[in-house]
Structure 1
Amino acid sequence: MTYRPRPPSLLSRIPWWLLAIGLLFVIGLWAITADATYASIFRTLSGGVVTTLWVTVVAFVAATVLGLVVALARTSNVRVLREIATFYVEIIRGIPILVFLFYVAFVAAPAMVGAFNWLMAPLIGWGWMEPATVRGFDFVWRAIFALTVCYSAFIAEIFRAGIEAVGRGQLEAARSLGLSRWQCFRLVIFPQALRTILPPLGNDFVSMVKDSALVSALGVQDITQLGKLSASSSFLFFETYNVVAFLYLTMTISLSLLVRLLERYLDRNRP
C-alpha cells in the first residue's frame, strides 16, 4: 500500500502574521461597530480618507510621469542630461520629505506665484486678469506638488534599474532591425522592464499612503489632521489614534497584499 501524504490544509498554508493581522482587523472593526465612542470617532475621521487617497493618487501619478522622464534623462547618451538628472535625484533624495514639504509650502509657493504674476504682468496691467495670490495657492496642491517632486526622485531610480536590467544586446538587435530609439524603448525595452518595475513601484505607492500623513503639518484635512483635531477637542487620545492607525493599516496592508499577488503573478508568467 503506497503512502500518500495528506495535502496541507488551508489553515496551515496561511501565514501566521496574516492571521494575526486579520485578528487585529476583526477587533478594530468590532470596536467601531459596537462601541459608540469608537463609532463617533470613525465617522469624524472617515472624511479624511477621501483627502488622503486623493492626495496620494494624484501625487503618485504625477511622480511616476516625472520619474520616468528623469530616468530617461539618467540613461541618456547626452552627458548634460545625465548630469542634470543625477543632480536632481541626489539633491531631492537627500532632503527629508517633511523639510521639503515646508520648503515648497512657504518658500517655493510664494516664489511660483511671484513668477506667475511677473510673466502675466502685461495681462494684469491691462486688467484682463487678476494677479495671483499666495492664499489662492491651496495647501492641498502645495502638498501634492511636494510629494510629487520627492517621490519622483525615488521612482526615477526604480525606472532606471528596470531599464538597465534589460540586456543591451536586445537594444542592439532592435537597432539593427531599423527601429528608432523611441521604438526600441516602447516596443522592446519598456515592456520587459515593466516586470521589474511594477513590484517596487507598488511598494512606493504604499509608502506614499503613509507619508501622506505628513501633509497634516500644513493643515490639510487628511486622516491624521482630523485625528489631531478630534483628540485635542475630546481628549480621547487613545481611542482616536487607535482609529487613525486602523484606517492607515487597512489601506496599507490591503495594498501590500495586492503588491504580493502582483509579484507572484509576474513570477508565474515570467518567460
Structure 2
Amino acid sequence: MKWPVRKSYLLPFGIILGVAVAVACSSKSSTKFGFDPHADSGLTDQQYGQILNAVQQVTASTSQAQLAAQGQQIFESKTIGKKGDSCATCHTNGNGVNMAVGIINHPQKAGDFTGPRTVIPLMNEAATAPYTWDGHVATLATQVTNTVKTFTKLGATQPASTTAQQVAALVAYINTLKPPLSDFDRGTLSAQAQEGERLFRGEKGCANCHSGPNFTDGKIHDIGTPTVPGETDPGAAVTPGGLQHGFNPPNLRDVKDRSRLMHNGVFTT
C-alpha cells in the first residue's frame, strides 16, 4: 500500500492485536524538563570514542547481572537528573511510557524545529537500532551516552570513566527490559486478531515498516503522518542528507498500552 505524503488526514495504523482506529488529538503536553534529555551531547568523535571504548571494557570485566542492578538504580534515581527526575519518570517501569510528562516540545535550542516528540518505549531496545525518532544515532551505547551527558546533573563535567560506568550499567539494565507475552507469542490470536494480522502483513502494508520480531525494520520512512498545528519537524532531515519527514518506526511490542502514537503523538488509539 502507498501511504499519502504530507496530507493531514487519518492514516490506517495496524497493530498486531487487531486494527487500531486512529484519532487525531492535540499536541499539547505537560513536558517539564525545559530541555531535551536525549539531545546530542556535543562530544567530539574522539571523546565519544574514549567513552565507548571504556564502556566496552567495563562491560567485558563486570557481570551483566551486577551491571544491570547498578543500571536499575541509576534509571530509577531521582537525585541524578537536572530537574529532580529519573529515567523512570517518563519510561515508567522501564518499559512503559508516561506521555503526561515525557513529551518533549521543541524548539529546545536556537535553530531547532517546532513540534512535539513522544516517549519511545525501551523494551527489546538493543535489537531495535537505530535510535531516536529521526534515527540518527547508530548504537544504544551512544544514545545512552547522550542521555547521561545531557540529562544528569554532573554528566557534562564528570570524568569519562564515570560516564562509561554509568552507560555500561544503563545499557545492561535496558537489555533486561522485555515486553510481556502476548497472544501473538503464545499462538492464541483470536479470529479478529488473525484478520488484523492478515491486513497488517498484507494489503495495509504495515509490515513494510513494522517487520521482524519487534515490528520495526530499522529503516527511515515517510508515511505521511499528519502534522500538529505549527509543526516543522523535518524528521531524519535534521541530519544533512536525511529523508525529509522520515522517521524511525518504533517497536510495536505492547503498543496497546501507549496513550500517544507516532512521533508527534497525533493519534491516541
TM range (shorter): under 0.3
TM-score, L = length of structure 2: 0.22
TM-score, L = length of structure 1: 0.22
- Comparing both structures, which one devotes a greater share of its residues to helix? 1
Larger of the two Rg values belongs to structure: 1
